[in-house]
Structure 1
Amino acid sequence: MSTEKPVLLEARGLFKSYGTLPVLKGIDLTIGEAEVVSIVGASGAGKSTLLHLLGTLDAPDAGDVYLHGQKISGMSNKEVARFRNRNIGFIFQFHNLLPEFTALENVCLPGFLADRPEKEVEQRAKELLEMLGLGHRLDHKPSEMSGGEQQRTAVARALINSPKLIFADEPSGNLDSKNADELHQIFFKLRQDLGQTFVLVTHNPALADMADRKLTMKDGFLLQPEEVE
């Protein structure tokens, strides 16, 4: 980045093991507001585990995560779930849309879970779907949409509560190159138009290189720039 941005997310000394297998071995990082950061590395390097810890989907064995200076570690499960719903959005490789619900209903769900007024949520969901080129798909279920349309619906769902931060785990991994390119452009347009912050785990070199910063993981560590081959 050419200019330093205010810190939005900070991780200090994150460690995580599963059984006797150490996966993260002391991770420190900061993410700035309106920054797009990619995380790359071989399978098993710890990328998805790091994303889950930063996104409060899992808890570290040691270390702390702060969002806008607020310490997340130590919150109760209920407090973490409420905090996550209001402040963090997620986009996954396989979109995770509920098959029995329409695009509009899928997008509205996190808003309803946040106890926001129904009309307000539905209006915002329609605006987001329209913005993402899905105004004609409001009443379509996932099985009636293409893969690219399903993933754009998942993007709208991630945005419905105006989260400070969106985590995306292999967001274009299940898309063909055309739809992948379109999705990548959407991320950067959202950053430009909404000031949205993204942390992206990806094996897609084009997306990784488009980011403001590319972080490389290896064997549970974040490599320093001079260590990257």
Structure 2
Amino acid sequence: MIKATNIQKFYGELQVLKGVNLHIKKGEIISIVGASGAGKTTLLQILGTLDTQTDIENSSLEINNIEVTNLSDKDLAKFRNEHIGFIFQFHQLLPEFTALENVCIPAFIKKAPKEKAESRAKELLDFLGLSHRHNHKPSELSGGEQQRVAVARALINSPSIIFADEPSGNLDSESADNLHKLFFELREKFGQTFVIVTHNAELAELADRKLVMVDGNITKSDQEVLDNTIVE
């Protein structure tokens, strides 16, 4: 599913990632934890193709058996739209659009027919308990509801991988618990792989594997597990 080898990232002379190796199997829910500044979000952005590693010649990133570093910008954008979904801490919903319209945006980018996109969006919103919120704008939704709209948006194109960066960090405890349970329900229903950066200890422990980042790399104990992982 995901095979990252020797992922490095420099910002000027500061090395944020120091040769990360990572194998993730299809259908896994992986949590990535660590202190602020350990490189978690940078790693997530590179795995999600929102950013690129510094030393591409001596590293590789395969997603669904495709070496994404070999793709042109246009092909990479298409790949990201079709294969990857994102959930962010602050939702990133467009305030002028309704919940339904926000969910449809990735499908419209994919050039899906309007009727098909809206039908799929309604199905997802209904599944997430938002059947009565289709036509409400973000300002009319609670924090938990906004985050579920963001989850629906991430799922609209049926991506194989969902990357989430502190998805429950801006939610109250009840909404956070509901969101955590939802990830596992989605994995069972749709078969997605989840890679989640989180400071939430409960969510981190619920994951199939918890990866600990320290000073730009995954700790040795977790690396030994990864080296013995069969990649699908």
TM-score where L is the length of structure 1: 0.94
* 1:42-82 residue CA offsets vs partner (Å, 9 max, x unmatched): 00000000000000000111221111111000211111111
Matching residue within 24, 27, 30 for 1:34: 27
Verify: 1:90 aligned to 2:83, yes or no. no
Give the drift of 1:225: 2.1
> Secondary structure of the equivalent of 2:53?
coil
Verify: 1:117 aligned to 2:110, yes or no. no
Give the drift of 1:226: 7.1
Give the drift of 1:116: 1.1
Verify: 1:147 aligned to 2:143, yes or no. yes
Structure 1 CA distance for aligned equivalents of residues 219 and 136 of structure 2? 44
**For residue 193 of structure 1, what is the aligned residue in structure 2?**
189
- Could you tell me which amino acid in structure 2 is paired with residue 103 of structure 1? A
> Secondary structure of the equivalent of 1:136?
coil
Matching residue within 1, 8, 21 for 1:15: 8
**For residue 50 of structure 2, what is the aligned residue in structure 1?**
57
Q: Is the 8 A contact 2:10 2:16 kept in 1?
A: yes
Structure 2 CA distance for aligned equivalents of residues 55 and 19 of structure 1? 22
* 1:112-151 residue CA offsets vs partner (Å, 9 max, x unmatched): 0001111111100000000000010000000000000000
> Secondary structure of the equivalent of 2:70?
coil
Verify: 1:216 aligned to 2:215, yes or no. no
Structure 2 CA distance for aligned equivalents of residues 184 and 101 of structure 1? 26
- Could you tell me which amino acid in structure 1 is paired with residue 21 of structure 2? D
**For residue 104 of structure 1, what is the aligned residue in structure 2?**
100
Structure 2 unaligned regions, length at least 5 = 224-232
> Secondary structure of the equivalent of 2:152?
helix
Aligned length: 220
- Could you tell me which amino acid in structure 2 is paired with residue 162 of structure 1? S
- Could you tell me which amino acid in structure 2 is paired with residue 21 of structure 1? L
- Could you tell me which amino acid in structure 1 is paired with residue 52 of structure 2? A
> Secondary structure of the equivalent of 1:135?
coil
Matching residue within 199, 203, 213 for 1:203: 199
Aligned pairs (5 A) from 1:69-88: 69-88=65-84
Structure 1 unaligned regions, length at least 5 = 1-7
**For residue 24 of structure 1, what is the aligned residue in structure 2?**
17
**For residue 37 of structure 2, what is the aligned residue in structure 1?**
44
Give the drift of 1:224: 2.1
Give the drift of 1:179: 0.2
What is the RMSD computed on CA atoms of the aligned residues? 1.0
Change (3 A) 1:226 1:47: closer
Q: Which moved more, 1:71-80 or 1:108-117?
A: 71-80
Verify: 1:180 aligned to 2:176, yes or no. yes
Q: Which moved more, 1:113-122 or 1:86-95?
A: 113-122
TM-score where L is the length of structure 2: 0.93
Structure 2 CA distance for aligned equivalents of residues 110 and 193 of structure 1? 21
